[in-house]
Every structure is written in C-alpha cells, then in structure tokens.
Amino acid sequence: MTNIDIGAENDFPLEEGVYVGHDVTGSEPIAVFRTEEGIYALNDRCTHGNYSLSEGWVEDGTVECPKHASSFCLANGKVLNLPATQDAPTHDVDVVDGRVLLTPKFDA
C-alpha cells in the first residue's frame, strides 16, 4: 500500500471530519477525523444510508451519521447503534513530521 500525504496535521480541525475524495485515494472517498486522541480514517459513506460521514458529528471518539444517527467508533469502525448494522471500513493514518499520511485499505 502507498502512503498518501493529505496535508499538515493542523489543517485537520479537531472534532470534525475532512472529506478525501476518490481522486486522491484512487478508489472510494475517505473521511479523516482528528481528535485529542489521534487521527482516524473511515470510508466516507455510512454503511446504512450511504451518507457522508465526514459531514457527521464527532464526539467522544465516535462519528454520528448526519442522516439517520448511526454512530461508528473512530478507532475501529465498529457500528455502535442502529439503523446501521455493518461496521465502517477503516484505513491506516499516521502523522510524520507534522504531515498526515493516509494508507487506504481497499479490497482489490
């Protein structure tokens, strides 16, 4: 897998999602979230209603889908409440010298 430099760590606001499009990832859009605990990356689409998770509400290490309020754990993508029943796929993300490096994990 290839690391993609998606910007400076400070470009990612705390407790908000940032959309990273398919033109950058080479496949599906990814939502990147920065919290006090770290930076996380999930597929951008809610597994229930196909709405953008990057537009969701971030709180206590979770993101809530803006449409039907399903919540997902940022650290592992686990779905935390209905109506979603499938976990959100996660992607590797690291900070190196203040730069955010994303490593998408898409099925071939």
Q: Which letter does DSSP use for residue 9 in this model?
A: G
Which of 17-21, 49-53, 103-107 is predicted with the least confidence, judged by mean pLDDT? Answer: 103-107
pLDDT at position 5 = 97
Q: How confident is the model at residue 108 (pLDDT cuts 50, 70, 90)?
A: very low
Token pair 């470009």 in the structure block, residue: 11
Q: Residue 77's closest CA among 94, 59, 62, 66? A: 62
Quick one: pLDDT at residue 12?
97
83-104: average pLDDT: 96
pTM of the predicted protein model: 0.93
Domains of the chain: 4-103 (2.102.10.10)
**Cβ proximity of 95 and 85 under 8 Å:** no
pLDDT of 107 above 80: no
Mean pLDDT (the chain) is 94
Residues ≥6 apart with Cβ < 8 Å to 93:
32, 39, 40, 41, 100, 101, 102, 103
Q: Residue 2 to residues 52, 81, 92, 93, 103: CA-CA distances in angstroms? A: 24, 33, 10, 11, 6
